[in-house]
Amino acid sequence: MHILEGEGVTKYFGGLAAVSNVDFYVEQGEVVGLIGPNGAGKTTLFNLISAALVPKPGIIKYKGKNITRKKPHQICRIGIARTFQTVKIFANMPVLQNVLAGSFFGTSPGMSSTDATREALESLEFVGLSDLAATPAGDLTLANQKRLEVARALATRPELLLLDELMAGLNHTEIAESMELVKRIRDRGVTVVMIEHVMKAIMNVCDRIIVLHHGQKIAEGTPQEIATSKTVIEVYLGEQTNAGS
Amino acid sequence: AEEEPAPAPAPAPAPEPAAPIKDSIVIGASRPLTGAQAPIGDAALGPMMQLWEQKVNADGGIYVEEYGKKLPIEFLIYDDATDVGTMVRLTEKLILEDKVDILFSSCGTSFISAQAPIANKYGMVLITAEGGAVTMRDSLPGLPYTFVSLSFSDHYELPVFADMCAAEGAKTAYIISIADLHGVEYGGVGNMEFARVGIEVIANKSVPITYTDFSLLVKEAKAANPDVFCVFAYPPIVLPVTGEMMALGFNPPAVIMGPGANFGFYGVSFGGDPAVVEGVSCFATANKDTSPAFAEHFTALEELVGWPNSDWWGTPLYAPIMDIWVEAIEATGTLDQDVIRDYIATHHFDTILGDTWFEMFGDGGGLMAKETHTGEIGQWQNGTMEIVGGGDWPATVLTSDWIYPKPDWPTP
Amino acid sequence: MPESIVTILDVAIGGLLLGSIYALIAMGLSLQYGVARVLNIAHGEFIMIGAFCTLTLYTVVGINPLVCLAIVGPVIFVIGFLIQRTLFTKLRTSAPNQAAYEGSSMLATFGFMFIIQNIALIAWGADYQAYTYLNFGVNIGGAIFSANKLVILGFSIGIGVGFYTFLARTRMGKGIRSAAQDATTASLMGVNINHVLALCFGFGAAMAGMAGVLYSMRITLNPFMGLQYTVIAIIIIVLGGLGSIPGAFLGGLILGLIGEIVTKIDPSLSLAAHYFMFLPLILVRPKGIFGK
Amino acid sequence: MLEVNNINTFYGRIQALWDVCLKIEEGEIAALIGANGAGKSTLLNTISGVIHPTSGSITFLGQRIDGLPPHSIVELGISHIPEGRKLFTDMSVRENLEMGAYSSRVWKQKQETLEQVYQLFPVLKERAKQLARTLSGGEQQMVAMGRGLMSRPKLCIIDEPSNGLAPKLVTEVFEKIKSLREQGITILLIEQNVRHTLEIADHACVLENGRIALEGDCDELLKSDHIRKAYLGL
Amino acid sequence: MNITAFTFKKSLVPGLLLVILVALVTLPIYGSLYNVILVTSILMYANLTVSWVLFSGSTGYMSLATAAFFGIGIYASALFLPTTGAVFPVLVVVLIGGLASSLVALGVGALTLRLRGIYFAIFTFVLVVLIMELGIWWELSVSHLLGRYVILVDNNVIFYTMLGIFVLVMLTTFFIRRSKFGLAMRSIGENEEAASHIGINVTMVKVITFAISAFFMGATGAIWATKLTYVDPHVAFNVLFSFMPVLMAIFGGMGNIYGPVIGAALFAYLQETLQTEFPEIYMISFGFILVAVILYLPNGVLGLIQKLWKRISGGKRAHT
Ligand SMILES: Nc1ncnc2c1ncn2[C@@H]1O[C@H](COP(=O)(O)OP(=O)(O)OP(=O)(O)O)[C@@H](O)[C@H]1O
Ligand SMILES: Nc1ncnc2c1ncn2[C@@H]1O[C@H](COP(=O)(O)OP(=O)(O)OP(=O)(O)O)[C@@H](O)[C@H]1O
Ligand SMILES: [Mg+2]
Ligand SMILES: [Mg+2]
């Protein structure tokens, strides 16, 4: 079943078509990679899905229902969570409270505070931040801040998770840990769409990859198909594909 | 409410002596020493308080029988920073905490409107100064302790002025008024009074209080070519409007402006020579020629301030306030506010204005009787303020004839 | 010329005349807030000081108000420069973040407002004061304007354009603009941040001072007249887009024009009109006309 | 050329650098590697004067520079290309580049320098009038580097230039860095892309928890177990 | 030792609060009438400041609309508590004032709370002036009544009403801060975009909080009007009342809910002292004190107190 579907999704900024007539779908339970050169429109597409921006024209459907007109918090409440390319944590709040906000207001807003706390602690445990629960979020390292964003998103109990450059700026070890994390998220039954420039991660984790360029979808397929696609190599990967290592 | 809480056991203070000991009469006032109204306070009642203190204390003070001696006066002045809420609180502090013997008025119509009920509530006599309004008169019946000294539109000046204009054959009037209590009242009463004498009011324009550019308004007024041009606003508007009239060569036969044109600073604001504003009319009560007493009074004020920045409208009406207090206290022999209130309400006083009394509103407060006024309308002539119009009662002293039409502004 | 055209001229030129002084005031604040991040509540007080100095220099010493521009401008510049250099530099370096700095510096300018008003009160007294200069009519195509108004227009536009050129063309100007966008990075480019911010505050204050010099020919002065100009300036810089100097300039002219048009219709609504047009505009274009 | 001796740097009460020493020879590419939050950017900021060390000394070409404000350090010939590009977003590409030449030492020659930068990054010449904000990530990185070169630095400090760039651009950026060294500019490079970095650098330091953990020539470091395990994942 | 210190501190705060509350409630019994009046005006400032912090402190939106909401409350009294005509019970009018303000806040908030940063601040500031100008226009052209009188109310009644509002606003702040709603507000203050993407209906939270804060400002204005006795638009909508709460909050420190109260109390007291003891230099000394506080007490008075407290308690620990 298609958990998420887009038809003719388009977004202009002034005269610039950041996303232009893109059709896409995401299957329940899969991990989809979204790649493309800088400025290709990947983040913009995430913004459209999560209703930070409204497509014009175009339709986005979640579980068959049109969600184009919804507000960001409604999108979250129906089960789509996201992280951000530049981390947007609540820097002056302790780590636990960051996540607690997610569990309080996510897909089950009526939750009691004990349940919400349990949920939050569990999310922290899942990403491995339990020890830092009382630290102000702003004091975390970048890698941990990114994990915190994932924990906060997971605490909303999503069915679909959008990860925007989770691995940018992380070193090798941290990238490996993050890949592991994505796999574990998938194993919980959460569908994942991830934007990433780190090819190793994309190739290893994703079931399917969508490539954007100048706002248009230029390729789509399995990692092998993408890695060998002439167009993708030309516009994105370059001759040496070891870049992400 | 009672007195302060008893402090922790400590050496007992000396017991209060039973016999009343009093070294001075404290006069309290909450005044706008700072803020938007500071300029008005500074030009009108401010210097007079200093003058009174000097004058009364030079005599050794006021004789109060219940203390059996003359008591010098002493002012206790707080700064309300031109905020009504602060003024109200400070007034209550003066009454309750400082227990002043005499309360003096705050500055500005809205301030007085707020202060009068408070003073009344605590039974303090309040003789108001800078400010007066038709609405004040309407509330006087419920304010037995309030006595209004400054004149206001329908009771005093505008009927006189309308008659003067009609007598000269003026046919049309053009009014600009400021969007506050003062402007609205004078604008409204202007409409009525001019209508009464058959002068058509061709426009009545209201401008915001902080407005600064008047070319268009003056141009429109000029285009309408009225016989009488009225500006019921404060100095920040009156002065630029005058400047604009000069620049645009707008010379209606009669021009009345105020408050603003009634101050000494008005005359010197256009190049330093007050002859420039020849023929501008305003509200004014007396000048040095009105009587020897006024000559002495204005001269003393000029010496105090350093230059003749007098308020020819307000000063003559505030000047009796201190005389009334002195006379009332010495006659009753007490500082008791109820006794004094009744005395003021029922007696005539011999003041700088001559025979002075308040016209009472039943059991309520009083309004300085217009029959005591020495004049209502003034006009700049040869650099001095001449009193050119007043009611037809004996007190009126006109010092000059009204010049109609006003001479053209001098060309630069 | 036909009556209607004269009326249009009256309103249009009158509006520009009023707007030009607004523009000058707003450009000063735009520099102070747009670059130095100080929302200077005491901005109007510098106008007041400029006006009072001119009054004294003209009426007592006999110096032509236009010459006063060249005296008062630099003096107030130095005062502004020193204030920023000493006080705000300390605040800026000790503030934990930008928002805290903006808050505390605004609060400090509030304190300045009181201090400057009081100094003026001591120096010039609370009285209303005024003088006139070039107060005679000049006929432009049938519409008459007082000469001082035209002089104000000329000088305001001259100062505004000169300043814009300075910012756009010179090295210092570029340094100022870059500091407006990112102070730390600008310092990595070799911009002496403290110096540049002090320059901005100084220039902003000087522009207010010069506006005061010019406008003093037409208004009544008193030590408490400043705040109303600060309010207008704040509205204009938001209208024009924060930190945008041309925006502030145009915003000022537009506000002046609107004020004049509404005055023609109903003067009592002229100030309300400023706010009325401001509100929908800021809702439609939250970043102002020139905001990005 | 640059000598950092026993630097200690604090953010408020938190110490970010502990007794850090670093030496850079003229004409080399020195690399600084380390995990997130190790203190790499802090070290660069300390060198360029954005933050001041509480103790220790920094000398550049024999002159003490710790304690100098950033603008004076730029004058001496150190150019810092900060993490995250930090462009003047509302200025055009050309104006951004010109800002790089702000220091009085080079302002007069900015036209010449500009031509040189355009040669290095031809795409910037095409985009000269475009606002920096509207550039793609890769282009922005080029502007940042170009701007850093506009001050004709002797030492160029570059903080994570490949962060968030598409793979193709990453390769390009490393090529450009190499070509800078060929022009005689000394480079101090921070990167998470450790392999690539060690391949082009001459000398490297590893910073861990604010302390120098390891340093040496890149060929040797590439063989070191610690590096291979912690940073190359081998 | 740690535990005793903990329980000591835990019981200290509510205990202290209770003492203060009792002291306030019984003030009219032991204090002079003027003390009651002075405390009333301090409470007025405290109400405005705490209400301001309730919204602006946590969401990070700097509202300068305080004077507008306060003024609407004042005007409500002028309309419903005139000296002549129908007079409602004071408490009803206080309620009306609060509700009217929060209604306006709902409307304005829904429209403008998407503006961020200084734009919002200035928008709200302009709102004050606009409402004032409209008020003047209305009174001039429609009601032809510029200047309205409000009935005099006994000072103790005003005091207790003000105190009641104060207790309510403190309790509201306290409970909101601890609730899920408070968490949402803080999240918005930290990062609004992220907050909306984790399911927080940011518009609703902001608008509701804005309305709650406006309610208390309006209620405070409604009872304050009975002290003013005379009301016109210039009196009711004084822009200084938009700045005062901000200044007082910063002055006191916004770290916890007592800071603003301390700020308001000290600030008001300082003002009163200067205005009465040194009226000639009131302004200049007020200005210098403001600047000095900003320079030397960056975290407000509360920050200073906390620092001293830490030093004292830290010193104690060192001994044991
Ligand atoms: N708010 C905006 N206003 C104007 N242009 C925008 C805006 N947001 C994005 N753009 C432009 O839209 C294009 C697509 O941007 P987007 O952020 O989606 O790229 P991306 O694929 O995520 O790139 P990267 O890999 O560098 O993050 C870019 O050219 C960008 O400059
Ligand atoms: N402005 C600051 N205030 C307080 N602490 C800071 C600040 N900047 C950095 N830190 C802390 O200092 C330490 C070193 O940070 P630094 O930015 O130098 O690391 P880095 O090695 O450059 O990491 P990255 O790879 O993420 O860029 C980190 O723990 C960080 O949280
Ligand atoms: Mg992106
Ligand atoms: Mg770094």
The rounded percent of chain B whose pLDDT value lies above 90 is 55
Nearest to E290 among C110, C231, C278 (CB): C110
- From chain A, pick out residues whose CB is under 8 angstroms from the CB of D193: 243, 245
Q: Mark yes or no for CB contact D171/A240 under 8 Å.
A: yes
Residue E46: name the closest of E260, E222, E240, E228 by CA: E260
Atom of ligand 1 nearest to the CA of A85: 27
Q: Is residue E171 part of a domain?
A: yes
pLDDT band at E9 (very low <50, low <70, confident <90, very high): low
Q: Mark yes or no for CB contact E247/C275 under 8 Å.
A: no
Q: What residue segments make up the domains of chain A, in order of their start?
A: 30-41+72-207+214-242
Q: Is residue E293 part of a domain?
A: no
pLDDT band at E115 (very low <50, low <70, confident <90, very high): confident
Are the C-beta atoms of A29 and D128 separated by less than 8 Å?
A: no
- From chain E, pick out residues whose CB is under 8 angstroms from the CB of B92: 33-34, 37, 155
Structural domains counted in chain E: 1
Per-residue pLDDT of chain D (234 residues; tens, 9 = 90+): 888 888 998 887 788 888 888 888 888 899 988 877 788 888 999 999 888 899 989 999 888 888 888 999 988 889 999 887 788 888 889 999 999 998 888 888 888 889 988 888 888 888 888 888 777 777 888 899 899 989 888 999 998 888 878 888 888 888 888 888 888 889 999 888 888 888 888 888 888 888 888 888 888 888 888 777 777 766
Ligand 3 geometric centre to CA of A196 (Å): 9
Architecture of the domain defined by D1-77+153-234: 3-Layer(aba) Sandwich (3.40)
Residue-level pLDDT at C79 = 94
Q: Is residue E225 part of a domain?
A: yes
For residue D166, the ligand closest to its alpha carbon is 1
- From chain E, pick out residues whose CB is under 8 angstroms from the CB of A152: 194, 198
| Section B38-59 average pLDDT | 86
Q: Which amino acid is at C253?
A: L
- From chain A, pick out residues whose CB is under 8 angstroms from the CB of D191: none
| Section B20-27 average pLDDT | 85
Q: Given ligand 2 and candidates D10, D32, D40, D163, which is best to mutate, with the most ligand atoms within 8 Å of its CB?
A: D40
Q: Mark yes or no for CB contact B205/C222 under 8 Å.
A: no
Cα D186 from Cα D177, distance rounded (Å): 10
Whether domain C3-284 has CATH 1.10.3470: yes
Interface of E with A (CB under 8 A): 180, 183-184, 186-187, 190-191, 193-203
pLDDT band at E3 (very low <50, low <70, confident <90, very high): very low
Is residue E203 pLDDT above 80, yes or no?
yes
Q: Mark yes or no for CB contact D165/A197 under 8 Å.
A: yes
- C partners (3+ CB pairs within 8 A) are B, D, E
Mean pLDDT score across all residues of chain A: 88
Cα B217 from Cα B213, distance rounded (Å): 9
Are the C-beta atoms of C258 and C266 separated by less than 8 Å?
A: no
Residue-level pLDDT at C12 = 86
Identify the residue whose C-alpha is closest to ligand 1 atom 6: A13
Q: Mark yes or no for CB contact C187/D71 under 8 Å.
A: yes
- Phi-psi label, residue B279: left if phi above 0, alpha if psi -120 to 50, beta otherwise: left
- E partners (3+ CB pairs within 8 A) are A, B, C
A170–chain D Cβ distance below 8 A for any pair = yes
Q: Mark yes or no for CB contact B118/E279 under 8 Å.
A: no
Atom of ligand 1 nearest to the CA of D138: 26
- Phi-psi label, residue B74: left if phi above 0, alpha if psi -120 to 50, beta otherwise: beta
- Strands D2-11, D14-24: pairing is antiparallel
Cα A206 from Cα E278, distance rounded (Å): 75
Ligand 2 geometric centre to CA of B187 (Å): 69
If you ran DSSP here, which 8-state letter would residue E81 be given?
S
Tens-place pLDDT, residues A29-61: 999 999 988 888 888 999 999 999 898 889 999
Ligand 4 geometric centre to CA of A124 (Å): 25
Atom of ligand 1 nearest to the CA of D137: 26
pLDDT band at E46 (very low <50, low <70, confident <90, very high): very high
Q: Mark yes or no for CB contact D171/A171 under 8 Å.
A: no
Q: Comparing B232 with B1, which gets the higher pLDDT?
A: B232
| Section E214-223 average pLDDT | 96
Sequence length of chain B is: 412
Q: Enter the tokens of residue B371.
A: 């029959």
Any atom of ligand 2 within 6 Å of the Cβ of D44: no
Q: Is residue B201 classed as helix, strand or coil in its secondary structure?
A: strand
Q: Is residue E295 part of a domain?
A: no
Identify the residue whose C-alpha is closest to ligand 1 atom 9: A44
- From chain E, pick out residues whose CB is under 8 angstroms from the CB of C41: 243
Tens-place pLDDT, residues D111-149: 888 998 888 888 888 888 888 877 777 788 889 989 998
Residue-level pLDDT at B81 = 87
Which are the contacts of D6, defined by CB distance < 8 A and separation ≥ 6? D19, D20, D21, D55, D56, D57
Which are the contacts of A3, defined by CB distance < 8 A and separation ≥ 6? A26, A27, A28, A62, A63, A159, A160, A191
Helices (H), B95-180: 109-121, 134-139, 157-167
Ligand 4 geometric centre to CA of D182 (Å): 26
Q: Is residue D232 classed as helix, strand or coil in its secondary structure?
A: coil
Residue E61: name the closest of E153, E192, E232, E161 by CA: E192
Tens-place pLDDT, residues E219-258: 999 999 999 989 989 889 988 898 889 888 888 887 778 8
Identify the residue whose C-alpha is closest to ligand 1 atom 12: A18
Cα A156 from Cα E104, distance rounded (Å): 34
For residue A236, the ligand closest to its alpha carbon is 1
Residue-level pLDDT at E2 = 44
Architecture of the domain defined by A30-41+72-207+214-242: 3-Layer(aba) Sandwich (3.40)
Mean pLDDT score across all residues of chain B: 88
D167–chain A Cβ distance below 8 A for any pair = yes
Q: What residue segments make up the domains of chain D, in order of their start?
A: 1-77+153-234, 86-151
Residue B281: name the closest of B378, B212, B197, B368 by CA: B378
D103–chain C Cβ distance below 8 A for any pair = yes
pLDDT band at B122 (very low <50, low <70, confident <90, very high): very high
- Strands A59-62, A2-13: pairing is antiparallel
User: Which one of E180, E181, E186, E197 would you mutate to disrupt binding with A, by most A Cβ within 10 Å of its Cβ?
Assistant: E197
pTM for the structure as a whole: 0.87
Residue matched to tokens 């590439």? D222
Taking a 5 Å cut-off on Cβ, the residues next to ion ligand 3 are A 43, 85
Residue matched to tokens 């300082």? E270
Nearest to C271 among B208, B235, B412 (CB): B208
Identify the residue whose C-alpha is closest to ligand 1 atom 5: A13
Of B183-192, B238-247, C272-281, D104-113, the poorest mean pLDDT is in: C272-281
Per-residue pLDDT of chain C (292 residues; tens, 9 = 90+): 567 787 888 888 888 888 898 999 999 998 888 888 888 989 999 999 999 999 999 988 989 999 999 999 999 999 999 999 888 888 888 877 777 788 778 878 988 998 999 899 889 988 888 888 888 888 887 788 888 888 998 999 899 889 888 888 888 888 888 888 888 889 888 899 889 999 999 999 999 999 999 999 988 898 988 988 998 888 888 888 877 788 888 889 888 888 888 888 888 888 778 777 777 777 777 777 766 5
- From chain E, pick out residues whose CB is under 8 angstroms from the CB of B181: 146-147, 232
| Section B382-410 average pLDDT | 90
Are the C-beta atoms of D133 and D153 separated by less than 8 Å?
A: no
If you ran DSSP here, which 8-state letter would residue B371 be given?
G
Q: Which amino acid is at B135?
A: T
Chain-centroid distance, C-alpha D110? 21
Cα C170 from Cα C187, distance rounded (Å): 17
pLDDT band at B408 (very low <50, low <70, confident <90, very high): very high
Ligand 3 geometric centre to CA of D86 (Å): 16
Give the angle B301-B50-E276 at the CA atoms, nearest 5°: 145
Is residue B10 pLDDT above 60, yes or no?
no
Q: What residue segments make up the domains of chain C, in order of their start?
A: 3-284
Atom of ligand 2 nearest to the CA of D160: 27
Of B64-73, E9-18, E44-53, E231-240, the poorest mean pLDDT is in: E9-18
Atom of ligand 2 nearest to the CA of A139: 31
Is residue B94 pLDDT above 90, yes or no?
yes
Q: Enter the tokens of residue D44.
A: 């660069």
Identify the residue whose C-alpha is closest to ligand 2 atom 9: D42
How far does C78 lie from chain E, in Å, by closest CA?
Answer: 20
Are the C-beta atoms of A186 and A163 separated by less than 8 Å?
A: no
pLDDT band at A87 (very low <50, low <70, confident <90, very high): confident
Cα E246 from Cα B248, distance rounded (Å): 46
Atom of ligand 2 nearest to the CA of D34: 21
Cα C258 from Cα C251, distance rounded (Å): 11
Domain that holds residue E60: 32-242
Are D and B touching by the rule of 3+ CB pairs within 8 Å?
A: no
- Nearest chain D residue to A37 by CA distance is D166
Chain D residues 8-27 with CB within 8 Å of chain A = none
Which are the contacts of A80, defined by CB distance < 8 A and separation ≥ 6? A4, A49, A50, A62, A158, A159, A160, A161, A162
Segment C171-178 long-range contacts (CB within 8 Å, at least 24 positions apart): C171/D102, C171/D107, C172/C196, C172/C199, C174/D95, C174/D98, C174/D99, C174/D102, C175/D99, C175/D102, C176/C31, C176/C35, C176/C200, C177/C35, C177/D88, C177/D91, C178/D88, C178/D91, C178/D99, C178/D102
How far does D139 lie from chain A, in Å, by closest CA?
Answer: 9
Any atom of ligand 2 within 6 Å of the Cβ of D83: yes
Residue-level pLDDT at C50 = 95
User: Which one of E283, E285, E296 would you mutate to disrupt binding with C, by most C Cβ within 10 Å of its Cβ?
Assistant: E283
- Phi-psi label, residue D34: left if phi above 0, alpha if psi -120 to 50, beta otherwise: left
Cα E179 from Cα E198, distance rounded (Å): 17
Upper half-sphere CA count for residue B267 (Cβ side, 13 Å) = 25
Residue B351: name the closest of B314, B327, B320, B397 by CA: B320
Q: Mark yes or no for CB contact C220/B269 under 8 Å.
A: yes
Any atom of ligand 2 within 6 Å of the Cβ of D36: yes
Chain-centroid distance, C-alpha E254? 13
Cα E231 from Cα E68, distance rounded (Å): 14
